[in-house]
Amino acid sequence: MLRPMRTFLTAALVTVALSACGAPAAPAVDVSKGEIRADLKEYQVALTSNTVRAGQVTFLVRNVGGMAHNFVVVKTDAAPDKIPLDTEKQIAKEDGKVGGIDGVAPGKSANLRLDLAPGHYVVMCNIPTHYQLGMRAELTVQ
């Protein structure tokens, strides 16, 4: 009778310890290794760093919002809010695009690894109207 009871108690303690942690913590990102987390939501793109050294850069893209988003990286001299628009498609023009991820569903993550030359970049969600609503951020590659 003792042994099953102890097993039960151990299981109960493990459950308490796990629930105390809440949601699983996101793995740390290290910009010195070229890692940048990009959190997408309505209507914002949040980067853990706006500068990174040239070379291999890994964007750890997470959709923390409630609808699908995408992720586009363009090399441009334009400020984040000054990318020319394609008014017919209701998107930003993607001149200078160096890479992207098509559709990231809510709650999902995807990684994008790019070889980035030094310069000025804008990252955005370019689902129609999302760029205009504020889903953009600046990135400087040194």
Which residues here bind Cu ion, judged by CB under 5 A?
A: 69, 125, 127, 130, 135
Residue among 139, 138, 125, 128 nearest 43 (CA): 125
Rounded to a whole number of angstroms, the minimum distance from the CB of residue 114 to Cu ion is: 19
Q: Residue 52 or 135: which CB sits closer to Cu ion?
A: 135
Q: By C-beta, is 53 or 93 nearer to Cu ion? A: 93
Shortest approach of Cu ion to residue 73 CB, angstroms? 14
| Minimum CB distance to Cu ion smaller for 34 or for 139 | 139
CA-wise closest residue to 66 among 93, 40, 101, 98:
40
User: Can you say how many angstroms the Cα of residue 4 is from the centroid of all Cα atoms in its chain?
Assistant: 46
Q: How many CB atoms lie within 10 A of CB 42?
A: 15
Dihedral pair phi/psi, residue 16, rounded to 5°: -65, -45
In this complex, which beta carbon is closest to Cu ion, that of residue 36 or of residue 124?
A: 124
| Least distance CB 135 / Cu ion (angstroms) | 5
Q: Give the number of residues written for the chain.
A: 142
Segment (H or E) for 9: helix 2-21
User: Shortest Cβ distance from residue 123 to Cu ion (Å)?
Assistant: 12
The token pair at 46 is 């949040």
